[in-house]
Amino acid sequence: MLRITCQQASRLLSQRMEAPLGAGMRLRLRLHLFVCDACTRVARQFAAIRLAMQTLRERD
Amino acid sequence: MSDVLTQAYERRASFAGRSSLRTWLTAILKNRIVDLLRKQWREQPLEPVGDDGDEQDFDRLFGANGHYLDTPLDSGNPAELAQQEAFLTAVQRCVEKLPKRIGQLFVLREVFGSDTDELCKDLQITPSNVWVQLYRARMMLRACLEQVGFGRTAAG
């Protein structure tokens, strides 16, 4: 089963910021992001949050 | 803070030429925070969660088919957003609103750069627990940030 839900995809989006995903999960996530605008946005939101923390950390 | 400075002075020879004073002070501060958290967390462990223990947390965001009920906001280019004052202020406010433990874990991860191995060792929790807690933090932050249009609207 290659299809995953947004709920599963969102969790993987966070998990991949911590550790590399296995090949199977990586493929499922990639396929999901290919067809899902909502999760693509969530991926960008998560990235923006991490980068903002980096900016704040470097600032003081 | 003053004992950190005293320590820094006493051990000044050991860091000279190796790393900047700031890096060194940050390391001390991190160790002190980890010590403190370790003590707190040992006395009152974070509730363990299983691999799917978080599912009900954010269930209300998703429809029966597992898709988002409300389409997440398009926050634009992450790198550009992360330089904007309004967004940075909003992020700070939202981090402060996180539940205490989750906020502490998130700050250790994103400010002090602790990775999963370090967090597991320092706080005596499992990798899947670390990941679930960080997922929760990020989901709460994105919900909080959406309320202020990801820094694009006033207030917050």
Q: What is the DSSP letter of B33?
A: H
For chain A, first and last CA: distance in Å? 47
Residue B62 phi/psi, 5-degree rounding, is: -115, 145
Note the pLDDT of residue B21. Answer: 72
- Does the pLDDT at position B25 exceed 70? yes
**Same domain assignment for residues B38 and B57:** no
Is B119 in contact with B109 (CB distance < 8 Å)? yes
Tell me the pLDDT tens digit for each residue of B60-72.
899 888 899 999 9
**Same domain assignment for residues B52 and B38:** no
Rounded to two decimals, the ipTM of the complex is: 0.96
Q: Which two tokens stand for residue A46?
A: 């998560």
What residue in B sits closest to A13 (Cα-Cα)?
A: B135
Element at B133 (helix H, strand E): helix B127-146
**At B92, which CATH number?**
1.10.10.10
Tell me the pLDDT tens digit for each residue of B82-127.
999 999 999 999 999 999 889 989 999 998 889 999 999 888 889 9
**Same domain assignment for residues B37 and B61:** no
Which residues constitute the domain of residue B56?
Answer: 48-156
**Could you give the number of structural domains in chain B?**
2
Locate the domains of chain A by residue range: 6-59
**Same domain assignment for residues B60 and B37:** no
CA B28 to chain centre: 19
Residue B124 phi/psi, 5-degree rounding, is: 55, 45
**Same domain assignment for residues B5 and B52:** no
Which residues of chain B are at the A interface, by a Cβ-Cβ cutoff of 8 Å? 54-55, 58-59, 61-62, 65-68, 71-79, 81-83, 87-88, 91-92, 95, 109-111, 115-116, 127, 130-131, 134-135, 138-139, 141-142, 145, 150
**Same domain assignment for residues B130 and B89:** yes
Percentage of residues in chain B with pLDDT exceeding 90? 46
